[in-house]
Each structure stands twice: as C-alpha cells, then as structure tokens.
C-alpha cells in the first residue's frame, strides 16, 4: 500500500507534503511552520524527518521551529549544506536511502538552483520535484542553464508515467496561460485547465503522464515545428520556451 500523502498549502502559493506510514511521518520542504505543525497536531502524528529539496527561503524557513517542536532530523544535499539548515543526514545525488520502510532515489535536478534534489519513492509512485518539474511548467533558471535543466527534466521524464509529481508551487494560472499560448490546440491541456477551474481536480500533484500530455516543457518534440526550430536540439527548444515564459 502506498504511503499516505497530505498536500499542504503554505505561504501564498507554496506546497509542502507530509508522507505517513506504519513507520512514521516525514515532511518534504518546510515553507512555514504553522500549517505543518497544525496538520501534524490535527492528525496526531509525530514527525521523524524533513527532506529538503533546495536552499530557497520559501522551502526551508519553517525548519528551525519545526525541528524545535518535533525533534525531526533534517536531510538534504550535503554538497549544498552551507546554504541549508543544519543537516543531520547529508545525502548526494544518485544515492538511494530508506524512508518509512521504502527505498528513496535521490535525483539531481539542478537548474533552478545548483544542487536542487528531487526525491522519488518508486514503491508508492511519488516524486517530490519542488521547483524543477512543476505543474504545467518548470522552475526559473536562477543558477543553472537550459542544458542543465533539460537534463534534469529528462531524468524526471524517464520515471514511470503513473508517478505522482509533487511540485513546489501552485502557479497553475500563469503556467496554464503560457502553455495555451504555445500549445493552443492541445485538448488534454484545455481539459486539465477546465477541470482545475471547476475545482474538480487540483493543479498539483498530477501524474507524470498528465504532465507529459500538458506541460510545454516536456513537449518540446511536439512544439519544435510551431516554434520554427524543426532541426534544433531538444535543449535549445527548451531554452526558447523558457525564455518565452520568462517574458510572458
């Protein structure tokens, strides 16, 4: 049975995630403390660990208080430890760790930041991608370049299609509007946005198959001709799309 997933809205448009199973509870990212601590209290759960995807404040600012109140250990990229809260368990990309009785694949998804990690739980079919692969979008390239981010997205795109992509923000309105501007005939995209608008489904999490069908940053092969780039590398088509999104 898959671990129980609880999606929490934090700050203005952030997501944090609780995973719960017979062996305890863990948190992925900590944008702010109150919503997370309140949810733990309401469910009667203790917290064993916090997995951190990257160093940005809107993903780590809740860590000190949550640790102080729960005693949870903190896990993150040892190579980026200087920019993260104190780590109890440094990990590295390519490592496989165990959490809640399941294997967890630690994946390098640098691009938005250098040292950004994603955490893939293959048994439960969850991938916590934060600001790399996002709902109908991807993160801005603050530290990495387009080739780096395309490599990261390609690693995530190689996961099984039923994997639930648990991203870091609800940017659905802006991401959906841009996606329609470059992929207007995509009926799967229109259906997804209509369902979100009618509140029949959340924008995130969504399966990787759904992202493949609706996310322009995973659809470079389908969009290259309309962008006038029929013979360009995938990474260059991605770069063009990311530049267009930045100016949208």
Residue 20 counted as an annotated binding residue: no
Q: Which residues contact 70 (CB under 8 A, 6 or more apart)?
A: 37, 40, 46, 47
Residue 131 counted as an annotated binding residue: yes
Tell me the β-bridge partners of 89: 75
CA dist 43 and 33 (Å) reads: 16
Give burial (CB, 10 Å; 0-12/13-18/19+) of 109: buried
CA dist 17 and 204 (Å) reads: 11
Q: Is 116 helix (H, G, I), strand (E, B) or coil?
A: coil
CA dist 62 and 33 (Å) reads: 4
Residue 59 counted as an annotated binding residue: yes
Q: Are 100 and 21 in contact (CB under 8 A)?
A: yes
Q: Which residues contact 223 (CB under 8 A, 6 or more apart)?
A: 182, 183, 216, 237, 241
Residue 120 counted as an annotated binding residue: no
Residue 116 counted as an annotated binding residue: no
Give the side-chain half-sphere CA count within 13 A for 242. Answer: 26
CA dist 63 and 128 (Å) reads: 17
Dihedral sign of CA atoms 115, 20, 98, 136 in order: negative
- State the binding site: 54, 56, 58-59, 112, 131, 169
Annotated binding site for Zn(2+): 54, 56, 58-59, 112, 131, 169
């Amino acid at each position: 049975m898959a671990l129980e997933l609880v999606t929490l809205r934090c700050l203005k448009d952030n997501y944090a995630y609780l995973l719960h199973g017979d062996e305890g509870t863990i948190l992925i990212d900590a944008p702010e403390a109150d919503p997370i601590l309140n949810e733990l209290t309401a469910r009667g759960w203790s917290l064993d660990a916090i997995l951190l995807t990257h160093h940005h404040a809107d993903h780590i600012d809740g860590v000190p208080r949550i640790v102080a109140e729960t005693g949870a250990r903190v896990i993150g990229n040892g190579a980026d430890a200087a920019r993260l809260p104190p780590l109890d368990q440094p990990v590295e990309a390519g490592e496989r760790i165990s959490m809640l009785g399941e294997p967890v694949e630690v994946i390098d998804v640098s691009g938005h930041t250098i040292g950004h990690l994603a955490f893939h739980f293959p048994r439960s079919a969850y991938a916590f991608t934060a600001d790399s692969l996002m709902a109908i979008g991807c993160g801005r390239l603050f530290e990495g370049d387009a080739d780096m981010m395309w490599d990261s997205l390609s690693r995530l795109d190689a996961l099984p299609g039923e994997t639930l992509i648990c991203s870091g923000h609800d940017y659905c309105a802006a991401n959906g509007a841009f996606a329609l501007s470059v992929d207007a005939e995509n009926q799967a995209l229109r259906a997804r946005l209509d369902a979100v608008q009618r509140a029949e489904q959340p924008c995130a999490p969504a399966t990787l198959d759904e992202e493949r069908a609706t996310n322009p940053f995973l659809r470079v092969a389908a969009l290259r001709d309309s962008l006038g780039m029929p013979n360009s590398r995938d990474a260059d088509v991605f770069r063009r799309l990311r530049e267009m999104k930045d100016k949208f």
